[in-house]
């Protein structure tokens, strides 16, 4: 199977349609599939639902699709760093389904494993639990959450071989593996492609069975929040 494509637009060719459901990896600006998001913007695909921890910032990540009004709904954990995300939500322009971070990650992983639902204590007694099935186990109350089954998964990895075995670098591992698992089709952008067989099997974070299309590209490494301290006097 040919998995390597020359660019993001060709890797997404035939996969995009209005109203689709996309799972996207990344956390803040770390490990986000920026090239694929740019190609979705250029394609003009609209009425999108995204499952992603957040939407990046106003001019980077999913934020660029919020600017062009291509996103109808976000399934997310965090809004704070994106002013346009917050504005659209508070004005009623954007539908938002809040999920605790661990629950969102598990919903993606569950979908990738073919699990339609699971029970968790997280959110019991809060607005997160409203309208959801409650069940007691060993005297404790749990709520049922549904697995996420996306039309498309877009993720960013550090390195891959030609069959799609992925290695993520440090914190960029975040939501990328579970997001990759839950899409009917998974498209990955990477910094480096190496020959098949050159990766140590024990170092692979996600097997190539989940990966359908791959692109290699140059990535902008932004810092979302820079924290510094005063230089100590000698």
List, in order of start, the domains of the chain with CATH numbers: 8-134+145-216 (3.40.1080.10)
Cα-based distances in Å from 215 to 13, 42, 163: 13, 17, 12
- Note the pTM of the prediction, 2 decimals: 0.92
> What digits encode the pLDDT tens for the residues 69-92?
999 999 999 887 788 988 999 999
Contact between 116 and 147 under an 8 Å Cβ cutoff? The reply is yes
Written as one string, the DSSP assignment of 79-133 is -TT-HHHHHHHHTTSSEEEE--HHHHHHHHHHHHTT--EEEESTTTTSGGGTTS-
pLDDT averaged over 10-residue windows placed end to end, the chain, 234 residues: 94 98 93 96 98 90 94 91 88 94 97 97 95 97 98 98 96 95 98 96 97 92 78 72
Closest-CA residue to 99 (of 137, 135, 129): 129
The number of CA neighbours under 13 Å toward the Cβ of 188 is: 36
Identify the H or E element spanning 10. helix 8-11
pLDDT at residue number 218: 85
> What digits encode the pLDDT tens for the residues 15-54?
999 999 999 999 988 999 999 999 999 999 999 999 999 9
């Amino acid at each position: 199977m040919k998995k390597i494509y020359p660019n993001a637009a060709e890797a997404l060719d035939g996969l995009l349609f209005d109203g689709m459901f996309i799972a996207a990896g990344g956390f803040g600006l770390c490990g986000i599939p920026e090239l694929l998001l740019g190609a979705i913007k250029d394609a003009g695909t609209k009425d999108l639902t995204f499952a992603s921890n957040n939407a990046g910032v106003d001019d980077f990540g999913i934020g660029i699709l919020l600017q062009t009004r291509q996103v109808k709904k976000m399934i997310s954990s965090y809004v704070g760093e994106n002013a346009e995300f917050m504005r659209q939500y508070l004005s009623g322009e954007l539908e938002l389904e809040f999920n605790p971070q661990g629950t969102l990650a598990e919903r993606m992983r569950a979908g990738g494993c073919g699990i339609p639902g699971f029970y968790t204590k997280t959110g019991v007694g809060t607005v997160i639990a409203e309208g959801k099935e409650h069940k007691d186990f060993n005297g404790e109350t749990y709520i049922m959450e549904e697995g996420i089954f996306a039309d498309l998964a877009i993720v960013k990895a550090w390195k891959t071989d030609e069959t799609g075995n992925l290695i993520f670098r440090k914190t960029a591992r975040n939501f990328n593996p579970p997001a990759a698992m839950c899409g009917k089709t998974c498209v990955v952008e990477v910094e480096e492609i190496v020959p098949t067989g050159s990766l140590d099997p024990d170092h692979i974070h996600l097997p190539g069975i989940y990966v359908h299309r791959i692109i290699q590209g140059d990535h902008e490494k932004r810092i979302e929040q820079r924290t510094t301290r005063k230089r100590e006097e000698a």
